[in-house]
């Protein structure tokens, strides 16, 4: 899937996964003040990492999918500050559906930061339950059926 000159696909190997983790560190730890230990929760080895790369193959967006039976958890969505509001997160969400199905999933769940719920609603997610705090940031569970 592409958005302009941007391509979305699974991370191509350890180097791209490392680049995705570095982007997460810059966005969540440096920009949003989340503790590094909260970002690196020990589940990255079992995750499918999706990346958005520009025409230089630089990783400018990422998210990850974790399978729990037919429930796929999408998380760690981050886009480089200079690349935002160009539809890259929307393209990652669009690609995630087919990958979730390929992992055996029937629905994707995610905890959206409340400021960004419109992004997920436009991708077909519906809110579930009340707003809660995670890492000091307001979130809301959202869910989408994919199969
Ligand atoms: C949230 C984030 C991933 C969106 O990435 P993006 O590539 O800019 O998103 P898209 O261009 O696909 O979609 C943009 C939409 O996201 C939402 N959005 C993004 N930033 C927003 C902001 N600062 N305020 C309000 N809405 C915002 C809006 O719905 C926006 O649509 P609009 O441009 O028509 O208003 C990116 O801003 C980011 O990395 N933020 C910091 C990390 C973060 O908060 N991640 C978790 C989000 S649950």
* Per-residue pLDDT tens digits for 92-138: 999 999 999 999 999 999 999 999 999 999 999 999 999 999 989 99
Residue 4: its pLDDT value, please?
A: 58
Domain residue limits at 54: 2-110
Residue whose CA is closest, atom 20 of ligand 1?
Answer: 116
Q: Which atom of ligand 1 approaches the CA of 110 most closely?
A: 48
Please tell me the total count of domains within the chain: 1
Please determine, for residue 62, whether its predicted confidence score (pLDDT) is greater than 90: yes
**Helix and strand element counts for the chain (H, E):** 4, 8
Please determine, for residue 59, whether its predicted confidence score (pLDDT) is greater than 80: yes
The 3-state DSSP class for residue 135 equals: coil
Q: Is residue 54 part of a domain?
A: yes
Residue 34: its pLDDT value, please?
A: 95
Q: Is residue 12 part of a domain?
A: yes
Q: Is residue 57 part of a domain?
A: yes
Once rounded to an integer, what is the mean pLDDT over residues 39-61?
A: 97
Beta-bridge mates of residue 66: 73
Q: How many residues does the chain have?
A: 147
8 A C-beta contact, residue 135 and residue 24 = no
Once rounded to an integer, what is the mean pLDDT over residues 84-95?
A: 98
Q: Which atom of ligand 1 approaches the CA of 112 most closely?
A: 48
Q: Which residues of 15-42 are buried (b: 16+ CB within 10 A; e: fewer)?
A: ebbebbbebbbebbbeeeebeeeebeee
Please determine, for residue 2, whether its predicted confidence score (pLDDT) is greater than 80: no
Pocket test for ligand 1, best of 64, 95, 119 (most atoms within 8 A of CB): 119
CB of 110 shorter than 6 A to ligand 1: no
Q: Is residue 93 part of a domain?
A: yes
Q: Is residue 121 part of a domain?
A: no
CA–centroid distance, 88 to ligand 1, in Å, is: 9
Please determine, for residue 9, whether its predicted confidence score (pLDDT) is greater than 70: yes
Q: Report the C-alpha dihedral over residues 131, 134, 136, 141, rounded to 10 degrees.
A: -30
Q: Which atom of ligand 1 approaches the CA of 92 most closely?
A: 12
Residue 119: its pLDDT value, please?
A: 98
% pLDDT > 70, the chain: 97
Q: Is residue 134 part of a domain?
A: no
CA–centroid distance, 76 to ligand 1, in Å, is: 13
Q: Which atom of ligand 1 approaches the CA of 119 most closely?
A: 29
- What CATH number does the domain containing 88 carry? 3.40.630.30
Q: What is the overall mean pLDDT for the chain?
A: 96
Q: Is residue 20 part of a domain?
A: yes
Give this prediction's pTM.
0.95
d(C-alpha 18, C-alpha 29), whole Å: 15
Q: Is residue 145 part of a domain?
A: no
């Amino acid at each position: 899937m592409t958005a302009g000159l941007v391509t979305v696909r699974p991370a191509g190997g350890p180097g791209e996964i490392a680049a995705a983790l570095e982007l997460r560190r810059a966005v969540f730890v440096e920009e949003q003040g989340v503790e590094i230990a909260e970002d690196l929760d020990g589940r990255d080895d079992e995750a499918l990492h999706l990346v958005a790369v520009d025409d230089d193959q630089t990783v400018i967006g990422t998210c990850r999918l974790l399978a729990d039976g037919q429930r796929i958890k999408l998380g760690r969505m981050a886009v480089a500050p200079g690349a935002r509001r160009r539809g890259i997160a929307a393209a990652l969400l669009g690609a995630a559906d087919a990958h979730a199905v390929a992992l055996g999933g029937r629905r994707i769940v995610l905890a959206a930061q409340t400021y960004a719920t419109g992004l997920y609603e436009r991708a077909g997610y519906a809110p579930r339950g009340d707003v809660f705090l995670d890492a000091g940031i307001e979130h809301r569970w959202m869910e989408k059926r994919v199969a």
